């Protein structure tokens, strides 16, 4: 684990970097003094209502379709415990540790806003669990993305109560009670309103959106690198990436992508070799020529998604909430539609970004389109198959990404006896986006691996300094250049790691400086 600073959680919003630091890199967290003041003040409002005979949702009533059921004063603490136990009803594979940590951090952030009415011990317990590396076991299925990510959040609350299962810092599966005891953390004994406050949020889908945004910011720069390598390796033209042409259609993402392509291709001897009057290449295929338009549209989609995520990070989502003037009010802010829509939108962009990358890869392998390269980039075509089946792998992934681009947020299944009769399916949108981002990573890696082989085959002509640095970085991982057929799967996985780690982008940026 890299050394990271402590993240202070207060009434204000967390940053994207804060979420990534805690979720992925184990950064410790602490409550700010301002947060503690707000939490204590709002708890007093709830305690003043706890003995009230008038109905207050989640304090003296049941939940969902049982909201009209009055709960006697002596049963209200049990109401909260029963809520968590019954709602911890997830099923299926375990959700990744980074997602659960992001979910817990974002729930902690809402608790720190002072709008939920919990006691100070509740957010303190979540902070201590995060710092101890105790991760509740959360399951794939259980959230409809409305009334919050109920089952996933309930499994976290259950663990804080000392029940259910967790993963320790070392990754071992353990009983929550034992893990809390080993970390000297007292299990929570929930009081009025606290169970509801722990599960009524969109924290799971938002956490996955923030993590996906971080991944895509890297992958978009990687896509510009692989596109540049493909244009270069296929003897394409860079004239279409000129700034004045891009300004005729002033989308900011398109301009950024084209600027990256110009920087990446600068100084290429391969490009210079066919600039003369004898060159008959007036224009390239769309997958090369239109790379800035497709990559740029994906960038602009990500920018919109980041705007939505920023607003969500500034939100305090619970129902009911304690307002700034001390009222306790029901609301519908737990509905996941804003997050669900952009998660689906990103899945569309991811599928198209992978699709154009796969088309660029395929062009390298066809002698009718590769401009002098051997069939399938094979060393001895016929005896060797080269990268023929690597393209199959890429095509198979792209086909799945197209299926994953079908939106989840257009679906709705009524629940809770028709009280919750319209739900967002935002959690499902987030789960499929995570799979899509992984697929895009692999498609770009295959393009990079294939393009690197093609650039080597253009010797003695040399590539641009930036793309040459990317190829050199790949070769430094032990991935060999052109030659006879060999076991290709490990080379693909090594290249996936090269892309996912950011090393490919860092290699290019040693020449270009920071890419946009």
Q: Does residue 198 register a pLDDT over 80?
A: yes
Q: Mean pLDDT over residues 178-192, rounded?
A: 96
pLDDT digits (tens, 9 = 90+) for 251-307: 999 999 999 999 999 999 999 999 877 766 778 999 999 999 999 999 999 999 999
Q: What is the pTM of this model?
A: 0.95
Owner of token pair 């935002």: 426
pLDDT digits (tens, 9 = 90+) for 365-378: 999 999 999 999 99
pLDDT digits (tens, 9 = 90+) for 91-102: 999 999 999 999
State the pLDDT at residue 2: 47
Q: Does residue 421 register a pLDDT over 90?
A: no
Extract the tokens encoding 433. 């986006």
Please state the three-class secondary structure of 242-306 as a single string: CHHHHHCCCCHHHHHHHHHHHHHHCCCHHHHCCCCCCCCCCCCCHHHHCHHHHHHHHHHHHHHHH
Pairing relationship of beta strands 7-9 and 29-31 according to DSSP bridges: parallel
Which of 9-23, 132-146, 323-337 shows the lowest per-residue confidence on average (mean pLDDT)? 323-337
Those residues whose C-beta lies under 8 Å from the C-beta of residue 288, and which sit 6 or more positions away, are 227, 230, 231, 234, 236, 360, 363
Among 410, 404, 438, 434, residue whose Cα is nearest residue 424: 410
Which secondary-structure segment (H or E) carries 446?
helix 426-457
CA distance 217 to 214: 5
CATH number of this structure's domain 7-201: 1.10.275.10
State the pLDDT at residue 277: 73
DSSP state of 373: P
| pLDDT bracket for residue 449 (50, 70, 90) | very high
In whole angstroms, how far apart are CA 167 and each of 116, 164, 366, 423, 459? 27, 11, 49, 30, 52
Q: Where in the chain is the domain with CATH 1.20.200.10?
A: 209-412+424-512
Pairing relationship of beta strands 173-175 and 165-167 according to DSSP bridges: antiparallel
State the pLDDT at residue 307: 98
As annotated, the active-site residues are 57
Q: Where in the chain is the domain with CATH 1.10.275.10?
A: 7-201
pLDDT digits (tens, 9 = 90+) for 37-73: 999 999 999 888 766 667 666 666 655 555 566 667 6
Q: Mean pLDDT over residues 141-168, rounded?
A: 94
What CATH number does domain 209-412+424-512 carry, 1.20.200.10, 2.40.50.140, 1.20.120.530, 1.10.10.10?
A: 1.20.200.10
Q: Does residue 1 register a pLDDT over 80?
A: no
State the pLDDT at residue 49: 78
Instruction: Specify which residues 275 forms β-bridges with.
Output: none
Extract the tokens encoding 354. 């992978």
In the chain, how long is the greatest CA-to-CA distance? 91
Three-class SS state of 136: strand
Extract the tokens encoding 266. 């600068």
């Amino acid at each position: 684990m890299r050394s990271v600073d402590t993240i202070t959680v207060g009434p204000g919003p967390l940053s994207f970097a804060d979420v990534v630091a805690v979720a992925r890199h184990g950064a410790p967290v602490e409550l700010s003094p301002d947060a503690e003041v707000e939490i204590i003040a709002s708890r007093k409002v709830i305690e003043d209502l706890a003995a009230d005979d008038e109905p207050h949702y989640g304090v003296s009533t049941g939940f969902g379709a049982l909201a009209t059921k009055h709960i006697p004063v002596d049963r209200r603490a049990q109401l909260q415990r029963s809520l968590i136990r019954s709602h911890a009803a997830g099923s299926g594979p375990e959700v990744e540790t980074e997602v659960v940590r992001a979910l817990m951090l974002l729930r902690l952030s809402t608790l720190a806003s002072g709008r939920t009415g919990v006691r100070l011990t509740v957010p303190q317990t979540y902070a201590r669990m995060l710092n101890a590396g105790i991760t509740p076991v959360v399951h794939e299925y259980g959230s409809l993305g409305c009334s919050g990510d109920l089952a996933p959040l309930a499994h976290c609350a259950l663990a804080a109560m000392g029940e259910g299962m967790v993963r320790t810092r070392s990754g071992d599966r353990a009983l929550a009670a034992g893990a809390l005891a080993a970390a000297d953390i007292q299990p929570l004994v929930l009081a009025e309103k606290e169970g509801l406050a722990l599960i009524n949020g969109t924290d799971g889908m938002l956490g996955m959106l923030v993590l996906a945004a971080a991944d895509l910011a890297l992958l978009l720069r990687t896509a510009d690198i692989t596109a540049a390598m493909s244009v270069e390796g296929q003897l394409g033209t860079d004239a279409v990436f000129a700034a004045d042409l891009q300004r005729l259609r002033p989308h900011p993402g398109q301009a950024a992508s084209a600027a990256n392509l110009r920087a990446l291709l600068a100084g290429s001897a391969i490009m210079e070799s066919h600039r003369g009057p004898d060159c008959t290449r007036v224009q390239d295929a769309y997958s090369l020529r239109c790379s800035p338009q497709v990559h740029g549209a994906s960038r602009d989609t990500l920018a919109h998604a980041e705007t939505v995520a920023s607003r969500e990070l500034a939100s305090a989502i619970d129902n009911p909430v304690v307002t700034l003037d001390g009222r306790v009010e029901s609301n519908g802010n737990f509905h996941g539609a804003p997050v669900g829509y952009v998660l689906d939108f990103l899945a569309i962009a991811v599928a198209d970004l992978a699709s154009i990358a796969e088309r660029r890869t395929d062009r390298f392998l066809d002698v009718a389109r590769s401009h002098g390269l051997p069939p399938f980039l094979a060393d001895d075509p016929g005896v060797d198959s080269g990268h023929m089946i690597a393209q199959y792998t890429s095509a198979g992934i792209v086909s799945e990404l197209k299926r994953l681009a079908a939106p989840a947020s257009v679906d709705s299944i009524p629940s809770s006896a028709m009280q919750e009769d319209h739900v967002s399916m935002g959690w499902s949108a987030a789960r499929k986006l995570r799979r899509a981002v992984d697929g895009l990573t692999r498609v770009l890696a295959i393009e990079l691996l294939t393009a690197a082989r093609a650039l080597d085959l253009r010797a003695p002509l040399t590539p641009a300094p930036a793309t040459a640095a990317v190829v050199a970085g790949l070769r430094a991982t032990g991935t060999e250049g052109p030659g006879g057929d060999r076991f290709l799967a490990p080379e693909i996985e090594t290249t996936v790691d090269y892309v996912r780690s950011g090393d490919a982008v860092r290699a290019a940026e040693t020449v270009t400086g920071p890419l946009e």
